[in-house]
Structure 1
Amino acid sequence: MKHYGTQAGLSLVELMVALAISSFLILGVTQIYIDNKRSYSFQQNLAENQEGSRYTLLLLQQELAKAGYRRRPDVPFDEAFPANNALGCSFAKGQTAKQFSTTQNAVCIRYQPHNPLERDCLGNLPVNAAAIDTTPYTDAGETIVERLFLDGNTLMCQTAHVTSSTKTAGPGELVSGIADLRFEFGVGTASNDRRVNKYIAAPDGPVLTIRYTALMRSSNINLRDGIDIDTALLNWRNLTGISTEDTLLADLKTADRGNLYQISQSAVMLRNLLP
């Protein structure tokens, strides 16, 4: 009588097949994890740009809309806002919104506080808040000057409260993640000072609106697949009219690490300055 032994364990062929199947499964799960992580990072940075641009536009709209506010509308602008050089803004008599120096990513505005609780862009109350009457058509005795400018990738604010003396504060950080920021002034003409005729960097007529264009840049890198920096910045270049020889464009290309970009543009009508 013949006795046949039973098999114990796995054969080499079975082991190799099991290892091959397991390897494919592990590779598949790993690839799904990497894709999901990349997709999550892309969505997070996209949301970061959207939130940053939304906050930037809302903040600029809130602050720029204050330009030229007077406690007494019956007082001419030339009397309400005399010539002043607070924060180096070099305001002419009656001027309340202008480009800072020759820098297109900085703007200066000034206004009178609406009430004792009127806070500037840094959250400071008026210096003489206790003396400001809440009733209209009364003198504030104070003018607030704000300089909004881009420093690196951060929107900054510096303020000056002008009374019999001048008290400055800041600069302080407002929003980060901004690769570039441009201000343009919508001006009218002598014959029609209630309609925007053109947008220019340095206003040469009645200022009716301020338009601002922000280029947001994500904090994470390596998020663009097959899209070079020239393509990513094409719309921004078309909007701003920047030349290929501009040093800022070269700096943006040098700093790029596959980040995501988003352009936001808006304009605020300076109702306080309308004739």
Structure 2
Amino acid sequence: MIELLIALAISSFLIIGITQIYIDNKRNYAFQQSQGEIQEGNRFISLIFDTYLNKAGYSREPYLGNEQVFTAQTSTDYCEAFKSGQTVTKAKKGSGVCIRYSQLKSEELDCAGNKTAAFVDSNPFLKQAPLVTTALYVKDDVLRCQSGNTDAELMTGLSGLRLEFGINPSSDTNVTQTLSAADWDNSKGQILQVRYEALVASTNNQRGKGDSAVLDNWLKQASAAEKTLIEGADTGQLYQIASNTVTLRNLTP
């Protein structure tokens, strides 16, 4: 009888140990999956913003000034107004930017994956090449793109987006001042540089609530409203920040 009890005790310990190993491995796998998810999100955000910011101000008519190519444009549901020669402004639907550029190729795809206008692109200096206006913005934790008649969802899991604009109040093309997007308007000067910071969250909850250094650092600079919103949505996700500063190469020397 004693031997049977000893055997049962040993078996119980083995079962508990094996179960704990299984749980730990499962938790570790889920953590790695979440890490991979937000790393892919970081890469995607950087790819989208860097690609389209580098397109801003591109013109197939380099012999003309920007004021002739990019004429003034009134505000829309998605974008603030563009002054003559201006190729970057703030988005209106959410935190983000709107950019303008000339098409490089006929029917090239826009940010939503749709074909743009068709034209004869064999002449690299074609006059009146079609212009594209694109809005990239974050609303309700979703990165969205608007171009033409399409407003498309690109990515979920963005808990926040911060923008800073490098400007020059004069007509010079060297950056002399940096402003937050909230402090900028058309009277401050043309945008020559954009810095973005995006707070990316995983889908699954993989940590104890309140122990994310990334989230804590982000909240230190958050407004009261933003802090309340993010903390209310935090259920233990993993966080990373995607950031970069892009100087608009088509507008600066």
Q: TM-score, normalised by structure 2?
A: 0.89
Query: Unaligned stretches of 5+ in structure 2?
Result: none
What amino acid is the match of 2:99? I
Alpha-carbon displacement from aligned partner over 1:215-261 (angstroms, at most 9, x marks no partner): 0101001x114x616755222235xx323x2x121111111111111
Aligned-pair Cα RMSD in Å: 2.1
Indicate yes or no: 2:127 matched with 1:125. Answer: no
Equivalent residue number for residue 165 of structure 1:
none
Question: In the alignment, does 2:207 pair up with 1:224?
Answer: yes
Specify the alignment match of 2:85 in structure 1.
Answer: 94
Mapped partners of 1:25, 1:229: distance in 2: 33
Q: Which residue of 2 aligns with 1:115?
A: 105
1:30 partnered with 2:30? no
Report the AA paired with residue 18 of structure 1.
Answer: A
Cα distance change of structure 1 residues 102 and 25 upon mapping to structure 2, 3 Å threshold: closer
CA contact (8 A) 1:185 1:210 kept: yes
- Judge conservation of contact 1:133–1:140 (CA < 8 Å) in 2: no
Change (3 A) 1:176 1:101: closer
How far off its partner does 1:196 sit? 4.6
Q: Give, in angstroms, the shift of residue 110 of structure 1.
A: 0.8
Partner of 1:261: 239
| Gaps in structure 1 of 5+ consecutive residues | 1-11, 161-168
Alignment deviations for residues 145-192 of structure 1 (CA, whole Å, 9 cap, x no partner): 1011112222111113xxxxxxxx221111222111222211135386
Distance 2:196 2:130 in 1: 28
Give yes or no for the alignment of 1:137 onto 2:125: yes
Q: Percent identity?
A: 40
Q: How many residue pairs get matched?
A: 247
**Aligned residue number for residue 233 of structure 1:** 215
Note the 1:108-257 alignment, pairs <5 A: 108-127=98-117, 129=118, 131-160=119-148, 169-190=149-170, 193-201=173-181, 202=184, 204-221=188-205, 223-225=206-208, 228=210, 231-238=213-220, 241-243=221-223, 245=224, 247-257=225-235
Contact 1:187 1:206 in 2 (8 A): yes
Say if 2:104 and 2:121, in contact at 8 Å, map to a contact too: no
Q: How far has the Cα of 1:32 moved from its partner? A: 0.8
Q: Give the whole-Å Cα distance in 2 for the aligned partners of 1:230 and 1:61.
A: 27
Letter in 2 for 1:151: K
- Aligned residues of 2:58 and 2:250 also touching (Cα < 8 A): yes
Rate the CA distance shift 1:191–1:145 in 2: closer, same or farther, 3 A.
closer
TM-superposed CA distance for 1:200, in Å, is 2.7
Aligned to 1:44: 33
What is the TM-score with the length of structure 1 in the denominator?
0.82
C-alpha deviation, 1:124, in angstroms = 2.3
Q: What CA deviation, in whole Å up to 9, does each residue of 1:17-51 have, x standing for no partner?
A: 11111100100111111111111111110111011
Indicate conservation of the 8 Å contact 1:120/1:159, yes or no: yes
Q: What SS does the aligned partner of 1:233 have?
A: helix
Q: Secondary structure at the match of 1:181?
A: strand
Q: Indicate if the aligned counterparts of 1:108 and 1:145 stay in contact, CA closer than 8 A.
A: yes
Secondary structure (helix, strand or coil) at the match of 2:42 reads helix
Give the drift of 1:86.
Answer: 6.2
TM-aligned CA distance change 1:102 to 1:242, over 3 Å: farther
Give the distance between the partners of 1:232 and 1:56, measured in 2 at CA: 17
How far apart, CA to CA, are the structure 2 residues paired with 1:132 and 1:140? 11
CA distance in structure 1 between the partners assigned to 2:75 and 2:88 by the alignment: 13
